[in-house]
Amino acid sequence: MLAQRLAALAPAPRETLQWIKASIGSVVRLIPIEDVLYFMPTTGTGARSRPTAKR
């Protein structure tokens, strides 16, 4: 009974991040999160990803 009440109070599982939207000038790309190696702030925020074939 207590376990059921506690389970009802637990938050719903969250959806995990799958894509990052990145832009360079007017070009916008969707980068899979598994390709992101690290984030590095420049003039704003930035991410570095490993080179992959066009998807």
Residue 50: which pLDDT band, with cuts at 50, 70 and 90? low
Give pLDDT, residue 32: 92
23 in a structural domain: yes
Q: Which two tokens stand for residue 41?
A: 């702030």
Give pLDDT, residue 44: 57
1 in a structural domain: no
4 in a structural domain: no
Give pLDDT, residue 37: 86
3 in a structural domain: no
Contact call for residues 22 and 28 (beta carbons, < 8 A): yes
> Tell me: the pLDDT tens digits for 1-42?
888 888 888 888 888 889 988 887 888 999 999 988 887 766
2 in a structural domain: no
Total count of domains within the chain: 1
5 in a structural domain: no
Sign of torsion over alpha carbons 22, 40, 51, 16:
negative
**Structural domain containing residue 42:** 15-55
53 in a structural domain: yes
Give pLDDT, residue 5: 87
